[in-house]
Amino acid sequence: MIEITQFLGVELWQLGLIFASALLIGFSKTGIGGTLMIAIPFMATAFGGRMSTGIILPMLIFADFMAVKQYHRYADWPGIRRLLPWTVTGLIVGVLVGNLINDRQFTVLIAVSLLVCLVVLVVLELRSSKFHVPDQLWFFALIGLIAGFTTMIGNVAGPIFAVYLLARRYEKQTFLGTTAWFFMIINLIKLPLQIFFWGNVTPQTALIGVVMIPAILVGAMLGVAVIKRIPEKPFRWVVIGMTAVSIIRLFF
């Protein structure tokens, strides 16, 4: 174990958090999507806001490829193209803002992004059946901008994108396929932005991602097993509660 920490350039407790995050990333692709939100604040606490996003991104990209392989036939490409320009604009805004703030402010911004997504998640849980989403250009532009900004700053655009999916009224397979393709494209766009503008995706963070591939795969298998045995709605509320506690920790 000591050899692994030296090889990756991290401490033992940091390695434990990375391993747990890799499990949650895999789990989020096959089980409950919101579980990724638990890992983000813990990683930000351990590595700082900006660096934590660079460690998580390579793991997310591998998990995205895994999800696309499973659901590649079901994507709604017109829907993806409709949102993509606005999301890329949000990514660019996120890059510019990230360059203007220090790491403590970056961590707080991650907490704010998580809080916005958590509120959206709660609203969807409580009122999804009565939730009316406007089918107008301004709304999708807003969703794209917020999704791009929050995924650039904190990798937490899932609940925001869920609002868009709700508006499109997808069936389950199309929901999963569109989500898989969309986030793979966005995360691949983020990769050069974080390499060249933030410098937080490095050979070391890429190596960490490679080493954590088995943990991501285990997390994916756990997600498949858990989603069949545990009711999804109560589990989502556990995720919401744990994420809320983690957000408070980031603020203070």
pLDDT given for residue 93 in this prediction:
96
pLDDT given for residue 216 in this prediction:
93
Domain that holds residue 96: 2-251
pLDDT given for residue 217 in this prediction:
93
Quick count: other Cβ atoms within 10 Å of Cβ 102?
Answer: 10
pLDDT given for residue 90 in this prediction:
96
- Enumerate the H helices of 101-231 as residue ranges: 103-127, 137-154, 158-168, 172-193, 203-211, 213-229
Q: Which of 52, 59, 50 is CA-nearest to residue 94? A: 50
pLDDT given for residue 118 in this prediction:
82
- Return averaged pLDDT per consecutive 10 residues of the chain, 252 residues in all: 76 91 87 77 87 94 89 87 94 95 91 85 71 73 92 87 74 81 95 95 92 92 76 68 74 70
- The tokens for 252 are 């203070």
Q: Which of 102, 114, 63 is CA-nearest to residue 246? A: 114
- Scored b (16 or more CB within 10 A) or e, 51-75 reads bbbbbbbbbbbbbbebbbeebeebb
pLDDT given for residue 50 in this prediction:
92
Q: Are 38 and 242 in contact (CB under 8 A)?
A: yes
pLDDT given for residue 207 in this prediction:
93
* 3-state SS, one letter per residue, for 7-54: HHCCCHHHHHHHHHHHHHHHHHHHCCHHHHHHHHHHHHHHHCHHHHHH
pLDDT given for residue 69 in this prediction:
86
Q: How many folded domains does the chain comprise?
A: 1
What's the chain's Rg over C-alpha atoms? 17
| 109/115 Cα distance (integer angstroms) | 10
pLDDT given for residue 235 in this prediction:
63
